[in-house]
Each structure stands twice: as structure tokens, then as C-alpha cells.
Amino acid sequence: MAIYKSQVQKHIRNVESRLAENQKWETIALVASGISHEINNPLTSILNLADLISLEAKKLANPSLGEKASKIAEESERIAKIIKNLVSYSQSTSSQWNYSNLGSILNDTRSFLHQYFLKEGIQCEIEIGDVPLAYCQPQKIKQVLLNLIQDARVRVNTREDTTGRKITIILKQAEDDGSSHILIQIKDNGAEDLMKGISQMNSLEVSKSIVTEHKGKMYRDEESSSWFFTLPIIKPL
């Protein structure tokens, strides 16, 4: 009876954790949508004015002014891309299952963290093999990738050599016990093993729960300094 009660309590905690995560993403989506609307309107005006300044610079034969206008437009477009990534990442589609391109999801995740990598001198490479579309909840898979890449980021930042920080993400099809599955590896070259970061915020447990929900496995291999998680290959009916 005591064992059954413990299992029920654990199940309730898992359900509560998932509900909390869903509510968090819904709130983030609302905030991101509002921020996007408020920023995109003045950003459009800035881009239009930059175009007008650029045209005026050509009329006046003023290359210096033209360069400044181009720089304004370039930085404005960068802001627009950041906002677009934020909205894309926060869309409340976590409960929707569909066939998704994991390569695109990986590239979106790297793009989302690009400014951090740039600031911290981290080289993040992606190797994409020939894999089928994955039947998954794309927003939740993004969350898993974000959590694990963030953990790798914490690890590589322990290196004293700031020029050698590297994260490699490998996506491929693998065989195990005669069956095929999709394998994602997040490898870092951190200087030491750190069991903190994502585990401190319960993100590791959430990630494992999401992967389990997708009928996959998630594990850490210290020898290769890598996180791995798998997803089953489910063919469309």
C-alpha cells in the first residue's frame, strides 16, 4: 500500500510539473507576442527612415551618410530576427504533435543562443545526417535541446582557454537491438564535470520527462562529455 501511495504521489508531482511548464510557456508566448508587436512597429519606421536616408545620401553623393544608414538598417534587421526567434520559440504549440524537421529545430535553437555564443567565444557546430521527419511535439523538443545546450554552455565556460570553447550537435539515424531510431548528441569540451545548471532548476528532470513522453531515452556519457537522447522513427500511416 505504501509503495502504491508513493507511486501515485510521484505521478501527481510529474503531472503538476508538466502543467507548470505548459503554463510557463503560455505566459511567455503572451509576453513575447506583446513585445514583438510593440517593437516591430517602431522598428519598421526605423527601417523606412534608414532607406530614405540612404536614398538622400546617394543624391548628395555622401558615402559616409550612406554607410551610417546601411548600419542602421543592418542592426534593425538583426533586432527583427531576434524578435522573430523569440516569438517562434515561445509559441504555445507544445501540445501539438506533428512530423517535424529536426535539422530546422536544431538550427533555430542555435540561432536563438547565437548572441551568447558570440559573446562567450563558443563555437557551436551542427552535423546533420540523413534522418526522417520526427513525429514529436516540436516546442517540447526545442525545450529539451535548449536545456541540454545550455548545460553544455555552462561546462565549456569552465575552460581557461577562451579560444577553444566548442559545442558539437550531431543528428543522425542509429541502430540499437535491430531497430532504428533518431539519435541527437550534444557534445562539449568543458574542462570539468559540472552537475549543476539545468539540474538546479529541475530542467534536467523536465527534459527526461519530455523524452520519455516521446518514447525515447536520455542519458549522459562522461567519457565523451556528451548528452544523448533518442526519438523513435514513426512512419506516417
Q: What is the pLDDT of residues 52-73, one digit of tens each?
A: 999 999 999 999 998 999 999 8
Q: 204 falls in which pLDDT band (50, 70, 90)?
A: confident
Q: 45 falls in which pLDDT band (50, 70, 90)?
A: confident
Residue ranges matching CATH 3.30.565.10 in the chain = 98-232
Class in CATH terms, 98-232: alpha beta
Q: What is the pLDDT of residues 78-88, one digit of tens each?
A: 888 777 777 66
Amino acid at 171: L
Lowest mean pLDDT among 117-121, 134-138, 198-202, 222-226: 198-202
Residue whose C-alpha is closest to residue 144's, from 203, 89, 222: 203
Please tell me the predicted confidence (pLDDT) of residue 113.
86
Q: Does the pLDDT value for residue 15 go beyond 70? A: no
Model's pTM, two decimal places?
0.66
Range list of β-strands (E), 155-225: 166-176, 179-188, 218-221
Phi/psi-derived region of residue 126, left when phi > 0, alpha when psi is between -120 and 50, beta in every other case? beta
CATH 1.25.40 fits 2-90, yes or no: no
Separation of alpha carbons 111 and 127, rounded Å: 15
Q: Does the pLDDT value for residue 22 go beyond 60? A: no
Please give the grid coordinates belonging to residue 52: 530614405
Considering Cα of 226, then 104, then 98, then 79, what sign does the dihedral take? positive
Would you list the DSSP string of 58-94? HHTT-HHHHHHHHHHHHHHHHHHHHHHHHHHHH-S-T
Please give the grid coordinates belonging to residue 196: 549543476
Q: Does the pLDDT value for residue 23 go beyond 60? A: no
Beta bridge partners of 124: 167
Q: 33 falls in which pLDDT band (50, 70, 90)?
A: low
Q: Enumerate residues 6+ apart whose C-beta is below 8 A from 52.
A: none
HSE on the CB side for 103, CA within 13 Å? 9
Residue ranges matching CATH 1.10.287 in the chain = 2-90
Residue 132 carries which DSSP code?
Answer: P
Question: Residues of the chain with pLDDT > 70: what percent?
Answer: 76
